[in-house]
């Protein structure tokens, strides 16, 4: 049994180290080594053991067990407070995200809630000691294998990074950038134009909205080059393009088939002429044969004949 | 019936054997009746159209065998232990230099091609975009054609008019060189310059070619140049590496250079070593292998290093090879046991398509040699091919309806929209509107669903014919990349079809077959194997280029199958071209069923012999005789005053005689001028490798009467065989020792005949048994 325990302990401390080594960019190496300090990690592993292997059903019992931990392992009130705030902000942000999923408006609608969430998380993860000289970073973020707070936050962070929202939002989460706002205006103009002609003939739409649409396209191209695109803009542009090309059928038609065929068949005709003319007019290359000197075979007259000829 | 007549007249010593009616040249008794027909053919002119059953006189052997004459022994005696150590070290230095220079050349080609192609495609793309809107796309087509046309014209002109040997991939030529055939002008500086410029022109000119094959040739030229420590073309002699100025050493370095070239081209150092091993294995030792590996590694490293600076992350050495297949990682690498039969089936398809490619190219090449032999015609042909390539590509793109969305992962450099919806690009254009290397990579790595089957099918078909048509033009260009591209296209098609047929079945099996990139890789290997028929080295090259050993087994199986199936129909492309160039190439083994042939039938006879102390006039006359362009002369001592052929005492080469004549080493002069410097081995080396022709050496009437003593200079111990030695035995001696002349002596050591490379190479196993090739002036 003790062997089993120590194996488990080893396993968990290994997992811990692995997770910290790979998972979190915020932690410096010195902190990581600090984590490996034997006394601390052994107690951490103990917590993990008890917390993880408890069945969910008797949560009351587990609460009892937790309350019986010695003083220094208890989580401070300040940290609990922080945790609650984090939870609240988290819920706010997610609530904002979900309705903005389609059509994508995650950047423009939710950047402020995300900013607040980031603040809260920074409070938790900062080095600064709170009241009563406690830092909640260790106790909240990495005292167990699951690291729930960290995982939750990093999921959203990934989402934010994938959506490239940083490109559309000012650095302090204050507002949308000017280029984004400008793009939105141009986009609105285009959509208005579409709406205006939508009911009537599509060719008219193609003709009349061409300029605004092209302006939008060029703006988009410029932003693409400057890397100032975020998912909102990309999605809006995509939808507009789809409207333009698929719904209204304003793509370029294939009109000059005849000219292309004519030019290419002319080109394809050239080699035929070339090969025919070189076959007919070029002098065929002949090779002069040479007869090497060979020994007389027993009953052979050929060498004599060769010499004669 | 006319067909048969033709065959007989082409094959094998027809004239000679005709009258005798003996069974020497043609083995099969069934052909006996036809011999009588040949009597009527005797009157015909001795000029025939070029065909594959000829041996050209212009190719000579390399002198691989060491000439152990007295000068050599003297030099060896003078050389200290340190001297030998220094030689060994300088060999390593030379190999390092070869690696570095080859790597730099590869970088140069890569960067210039990328820049020029970038400009070209950008220009055309802008033009196409402009004209898609306003109309007039045929002008874009003409612009594209003219751009291609111009680049290829430059490339073809420099090749056709200045250095025709730089045409093609150069691999057949290097293969011949490593086999021991001296191909004129193949390892000269001028060839290198033209090769490099030509490759850049032809790749930028949008032909269906790659720049990998020429890298091997370039590496070989670099090696041949560096190891000599001088350039005859530039008339600069650095006075270093003088010891290496002979064929034996030079060829070792050339094999290192070829390896370095492969390694730079594919990022495959081991593959490079094995390539050299596969092509030149008859002269091999461990130290040489190790040195060659060193050269290969250095070359990959140099390429990596310079490219990392170019891509502005210096020091990152993960940029191997000109062609980078990209990384096969994650799900795409897994394959299962039940996929092996599929891979083998793909190998068979590859072998069949490869054989088809080779047959078509064979007929085309014969036509080219016979009819398109003037340089201006060759340039015109290349230009036409360039224009047609552009036209076909444009037409395919124009009429393609395959539109794909621009994804975040799409790596298209020049996406063309044309008539696609906004935000989408023409899928056909990724295959055609790109340098071939990039197309290969996108076929390997683009997500499933990037190409639709129709696009791939059409692409394979057109590219197959374009590539086949392009190879053999008078431009320097390789066939590796086009083969890979064709194979990758049909391999991907195969993968897509497989996935779609199995999608009705179980869901999980679909997941494994979902990645067509894997099948693209296997298809590429199969097609390449089917065309070039390389085995070991190609497997390793492919494995190294993909950077994944997991694929070792499938690639090996595929290449094996491709070779077996392909060999059933036709030889490999390089072998075909070697044959068509009438090179006396010695294969691994003597043709089977040739044991009944003895040295007596094989040898040339009578032999022009020289006396040990010979009159200068006689030597000059023999050397100037244009009808007998002999290179080695047995040296004999007359036995008393009899008429019998004298006894053999040595062998002397034409080049040695010429140096002797140039320095006027005559017996009389030596007596009169005692202070005269003794001729050393250095004097022979200085003249190497371009010995002056006999016509340029002036010998006065008085000097003609002088005598020359050859004792010091001849090789006193030439290899000899008795007359009854069988052909395979002679063959083995030649192949293993790298001989150039083999004297056939009788039991009294009198010279009966002389066997040379051409005497052996003329026998080959054809479809009708043993056949003989004819010697011809080309």
> ipTM of this predicted complex?
0.83
* Cis bond before residue A103 (omega within 30° of 0): yes
Q: Record the pTM.
A: 0.82
Residue B402 forms part of a structural domain: no
Residue A104 forms part of a structural domain: yes
CB B619 within 8 A of CB B643: no
Residue A294 forms part of a structural domain: no
A183 and A128 assigned to the same domain: no
Task: Provide the pairing of β-strand B47-49 with B613-615.
Answer: unpaired
What pLDDT sits at residue B325?
73
Residue B23 forms part of a structural domain: no
Residue of A167 and B523 predicted with greater confidence: B523
CA neighbours within 13 Å on the CB side: how many for B24? 24
Distances (CA, A) of A156 to A85, A115, A121, A124: 16, 12, 12, 16
Residue of A27 and B704 predicted with greater confidence: B704
Assess B395–A contact: CB distance below 8 Å, yes or no. Answer: yes
Name residues whose C-beta falls within 8 Å of residue B50's C-beta, 6 or more positions apart in sequence.
A285, A286, A287, B366, B369, B370, B580, B778
Q: Where is the domain boundary, A216, A237, A252?
A: A252
Q: How far is CA B650 from the centre of its chain?
A: 34
What pLDDT sits at residue B643?
65
The helix/strand/coil state of B744 is strand
Assess B778–A contact: CB distance below 8 Å, yes or no. Answer: yes
The helix/strand/coil state of B245 is coil
Task: Determine whether A306 is exposed, middle or buried from the number of CB atoms within 10 Å of its CB (0-12, 13-18, 19+).
Answer: middle
Assess A91–B contact: CB distance below 8 Å, yes or no. Answer: no
What range does the domain containing B605 cover?
599-775
Assess B755–A contact: CB distance below 8 Å, yes or no. Answer: no
Assess A1–B contact: CB distance below 8 Å, yes or no. Answer: no
E-assigned strand segments in B290-410? 403-405
Assess B32–A contact: CB distance below 8 Å, yes or no. Answer: no
Percent of chain A with pLDDT over 70: 69
What range does the domain containing A97 cover?
74-168
Residue B686 forms part of a structural domain: yes
Three-state secondary structure of B274-285: HHHHHHHCCCCC
**Long-range residue pairs from B427-432, CB within 8 A, at least 24 positions apart, any chain:** B427/B400, B427/B402, B427/B403, B427/B451, B427/B452, B427/B455, B428/B396, B428/B397, B428/B400, B428/B402, B428/B455, B428/B458, B428/B459, B429/B397, B429/B400, B431/B455, B431/B459, B431/B463, B431/B489, B432/B393, B432/B396, B432/B397, B432/B459
Return d(Cα B667, Cα B670) in angstroms, integer. 5
User: Into how many domains does chain B fold?
Assistant: 1
Residue A213, pLDDT > 80, answer yes
Residue A17 forms part of a structural domain: no
Across A120-128, average pLDDT: 82
Q: Where is the domain boundary, A225, A252, A279?
A: A252
CA neighbours within 13 Å on the CB side: how many for B721? 24
Chain A and chain B share a number of CB contacts under 8 A equal to 162
User: Into how many domains does chain A fold?
Assistant: 2
Assess A281–B contact: CB distance below 8 Å, yes or no. Answer: no
The two structure tokens encoding residue B762:
């003329």
Residue A41 forms part of a structural domain: no
Residue A245 forms part of a structural domain: yes
Return d(Cα A218, Cα A36) in angstroms, integer. 55
What pLDDT sits at residue B118?
92
A119 and A158 assigned to the same domain: yes
Return d(Cα B166, Cα B476) in angstroms, integer. 6
Which chain B residue is nearest to residue A213, measuring alpha carbons?
A: B422
The closest of B330, B354, B329, B345 to B497, measured between CA atoms, is B345
Residue showing tokens 């077996």:
B564
Which chain A residues have a beta carbon less than 8 Å from that of B423?
237-238, 241-242, 245
Interval A220-240: pLDDT, tens: 888 888 888 888 888 888 888
A155 and A85 assigned to the same domain: yes
The two structure tokens encoding residue A289:
């044969």
CA neighbours within 13 Å on the CB side: how many for B778? 22
What pLDDT sits at residue B487?
95
Which chain A residues have a beta carbon less than 8 Å from that of B17?
302
Residue B605 forms part of a structural domain: yes
Angle at the Cα of A48 (from A47 to A54), degrees rounded to 5? 95
Contact A267 B391 (CB under 8 A): yes
Distances (CA, A) of B632 to A129, A289, B587, B606: 95, 22, 23, 13
Which of A287, A289, A300 faces B22 most closely, judged by CB atoms? Answer: A300
Which of A245, A278, A302 faces B422 most closely, judged by CB atoms? Answer: A245
A101 and A160 assigned to the same domain: yes
What pLDDT sits at residue A54?
43
A155 and A211 assigned to the same domain: no
Residue B360 forms part of a structural domain: no
CATH number at residue B643: 3.10.580.10
Alpha helices in B27-136 (DSSP H): 34-41, 70-78, 81-134
The closest of B539, B741, B766 to B648, measured between CA atoms, is B741
Which chain B residues have a beta carbon less than 8 Å from that of A252?
132-133, 418-419
Q: Where is the domain boundary, A141, A168, A195?
A: A168
Return d(Cα B174, Cα B540) in angstroms, integer. 20
Across A85-104, average pLDDT: 90
A139 and A199 assigned to the same domain: no
Return d(Cα B26, Cα B7) in angstroms, integer. 12
Across A28-48, average pLDDT: 42
A87 and A159 assigned to the same domain: yes
Residue A14 forms part of a structural domain: no
What pLDDT sits at residue B256?
93
What pLDDT sits at residue B641?
65
The model's confidence at residue A136, banded by pLDDT at 50, 70 and 90, is confident
What pLDDT sits at residue A50?
43
Residue A131, pLDDT > 70, answer no
A106 and A188 assigned to the same domain: no
A132 and A94 assigned to the same domain: yes
Which chain A residues have a beta carbon less than 8 Å from that of B137?
256, 259-260
A93 and A161 assigned to the same domain: yes
Residue B443 forms part of a structural domain: no
Residue B211 forms part of a structural domain: no
Residue A35 forms part of a structural domain: no
Residue A271 forms part of a structural domain: no
Assess A246–B contact: CB distance below 8 Å, yes or no. Answer: yes
Residues of chain B with pLDDT under 70: 1-45, 280-284, 318-324, 329-333, 407-412, 503-514, 639-645, 671-677
What pLDDT sits at residue B334?
74
Residue B176 forms part of a structural domain: no
The closest of B523, B451, B462, B441 to B490, measured between CA atoms, is B523
A153 and A232 assigned to the same domain: no
């Amino acid at each position: 049994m003790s062997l089993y325990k120590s194996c488990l302990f080893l396993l968990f401390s290994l997992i811990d180290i692995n997770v910290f080594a790979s998972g979190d960019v915020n932690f410096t190496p010195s902190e990581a080594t600090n984590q490996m300090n034997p006394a601390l990690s052994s107690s951490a592993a103990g917590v993990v053991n008890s917390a993880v292997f408890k069945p969910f059903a008797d949560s009351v019992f587990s609460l009892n067990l937790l309350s019986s931990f010695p003083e220094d392992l208890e989580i401070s009130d300040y940290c609990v407070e922080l945790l609650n705030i984090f939870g609240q902000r988290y819920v706010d942000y997610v609530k904002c995200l979900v309705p903005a999923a389609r059509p994508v408006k995650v950047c423009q609608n939710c950047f402020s809630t995300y900013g607040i969430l980031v603040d809260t998380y920074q409070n938790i993860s900062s080095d600064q000691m709170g009241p009563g000289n406690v830092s909640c970073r260790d106790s909240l973020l990495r005292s167990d294998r699951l690291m729930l707070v960290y995982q939750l936050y990093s999921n959203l962070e990934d989402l934010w990074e994938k959506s490239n929202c940083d490109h559309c939002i000012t650095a302090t989460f204050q507002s949308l950038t000017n280029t984004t706002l400008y793009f939105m205006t141009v986009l609105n103009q285009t959509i208005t134009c579409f709406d205006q002609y939508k009911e009537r003939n599509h060719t008219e739409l193609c003709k009349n909205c061409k300029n605004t649409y092209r302006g939008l396209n060029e703006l988009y191209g410029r932003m693409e080059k400057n890397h100032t695109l975020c998912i909102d803009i990309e999605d809006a542009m995509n939808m507009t393009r789809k409207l333009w090309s698929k719904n209204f059928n304003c793509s370029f038609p294939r009109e000059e088939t005849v000219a292309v065929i004519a030019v290419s068949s002319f080109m394809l005709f050239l080699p035929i002429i070339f090969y025919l003319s070189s076959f007919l007019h070029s002098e065929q290359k002949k090779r002069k044969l040479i007869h090497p000197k060979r020994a007389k075979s027993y009953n052979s007259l050929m060498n004599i004949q060769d010499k004669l000829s | 019936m006319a067909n048969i007549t033709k065959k007989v007249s082409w094959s094998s010593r027809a004239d000679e054997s005709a009258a005798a009616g003996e069974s020497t040249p043609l083995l099969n008794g069934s052909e006996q009746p036809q011999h009588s027909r040949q009597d009527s053919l005797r009157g015909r002119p001795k000029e025939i159209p070029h065909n594959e059953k000829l041996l050209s006189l212009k190719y000579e052997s390399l002198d691989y065998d060491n000439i152990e004459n007295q000068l050599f022994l003297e030099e060896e005696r003078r050389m200290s232990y340190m001297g030998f150590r220094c030689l060994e070290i300088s060999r390593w230095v030379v190999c390092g230099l070869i690696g570095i220079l080859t790597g730099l050349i590869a970088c140069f080609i890569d960067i210039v091609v990328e820049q020029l192609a970038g400009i070209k495609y950008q220009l055309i793309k802008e033009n196409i975009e402009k004209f898609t809107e306003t109309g007039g796309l045929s002008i874009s087509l003409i612009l594209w054609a003219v751009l291609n046309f111009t680049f290829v014209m430059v490339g073809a002109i420099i090749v056709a008019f200045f250095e025709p040997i730089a045409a093609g991939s150069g691999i057949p030529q290097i293969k011949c060189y490593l086999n021991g055939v001296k191909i004129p002008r193949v390892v000269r500086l001028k060839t290198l310059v033209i090769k490099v410029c030509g490759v850049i022109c032809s790749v930028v000119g949008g032909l269906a070619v790659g720049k990998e094959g020429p890298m091997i040739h370039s590496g070989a030229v670099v090696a041949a140049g560096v190891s000599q420590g001088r350039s005859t073309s530039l008339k600069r002699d650095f006075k270093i590496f003088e010891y290496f100025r002979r064929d034996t050493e030079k060829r070792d370095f050339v094999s290192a250079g070829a390896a370095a070239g492969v390694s730079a081209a594919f990022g495959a150092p081991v593959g490079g070593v094995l390539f050299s091993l596969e092509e030149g294995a008859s002269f091999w030792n461990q130290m040489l292998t190790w040195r060659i590996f060193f050269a290969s590694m250095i070359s990959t490293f140099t390429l990596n290093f310079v490219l990392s600076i170019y891509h502005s992350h210096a020091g990152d050495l993960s940029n191997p090879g000109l062609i980078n297949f990209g990384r096969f990682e994650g799900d795409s690498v897994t394959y299962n046991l039940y996929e092996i039969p599929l891979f083998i089936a793909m190998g068979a398809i590859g072998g069949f398509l490869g054989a088809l490619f080779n047959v078509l190219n064979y007929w085309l090449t014969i036509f080219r040699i016979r009819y398109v032999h003037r340089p201006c015609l060759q340039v015109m042909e290349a230009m036409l091919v360039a224009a047609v390539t552009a036209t076909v590509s444009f037409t395919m793109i124009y009429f393609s309806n395959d539109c794909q969305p621009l994804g975040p992962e799409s790596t298209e450099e020049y996406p063309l929209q044309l008539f696609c919806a906004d935000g989408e690009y023409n899928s056909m254009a990724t295959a055609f509107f790109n340098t071939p290397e990039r197309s290969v990579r996108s076929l390997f790595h683009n997500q499933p669903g990037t190409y639709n089957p129709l696009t791939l099918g059409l692409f394979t078909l057109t590219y197959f014919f374009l590539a086949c048509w392009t190879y053999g033009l008078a431009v320097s260009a390789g066939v590796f990349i086009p083969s890979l591209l064709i194979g990758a296209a049909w391999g991907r098609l195969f993968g897509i079809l497989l996935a779609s047929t199995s999608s009705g079945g179980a869901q999980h099996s679909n997941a494994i077959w979902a990645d067509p990139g894997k099948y693209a890789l296997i298809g590429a290997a199969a097609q390449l194997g089917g065309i070039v028929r390389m085995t070991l080295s190609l497997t390793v090259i492919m494995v190294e280029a993909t950077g994944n050993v997991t694929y070792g087994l499938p690639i090996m199986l595929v290449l094996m199958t491709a070779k077996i199936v392909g060999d059933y129909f036709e030889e490999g492309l390089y072998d075909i071209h070697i044959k068509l160039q009438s090179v006396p190439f010695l294969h691994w083994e003597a043709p089977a069923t040739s044991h009944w042939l003895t040295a007596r039938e094989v040898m040339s006879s009578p032999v022009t012999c020289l006396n040990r102390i010979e009159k200068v006039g006689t030597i000059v006359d023999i050397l100037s005789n244009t009808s007998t362009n002999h290179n080695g002369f047995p040296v004999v001592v007359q036995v008393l005053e009899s008429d019998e052929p004298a006894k053999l005492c040595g062998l002397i080469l034409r080049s040695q005689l010429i140096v002797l004549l140039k320095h006027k080493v005559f017996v009389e002069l030596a007596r009169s001028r005692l202070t005269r410097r003794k001729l050393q081995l250095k004097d022979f080396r200085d003249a190497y490798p371009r010995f002056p022709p006999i016509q340029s050496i002036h010998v006065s009437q008085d000097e003609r009467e002088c005598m020359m003593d050859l004792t010091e200079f001849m090789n006193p111990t030439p290899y000899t065989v008795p007359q009854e030695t069988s052909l395979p035995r002679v063959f083995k001696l030649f192949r293993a020792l790298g001989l150039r002349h083999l004297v056939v002596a009788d039991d009294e050591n009198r010279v009966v005949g002389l066997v040379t490379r051409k005497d052996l190479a003329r026998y080959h196993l054809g479809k009708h048994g043993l056949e003989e090739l004819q010697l011809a002036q080309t």
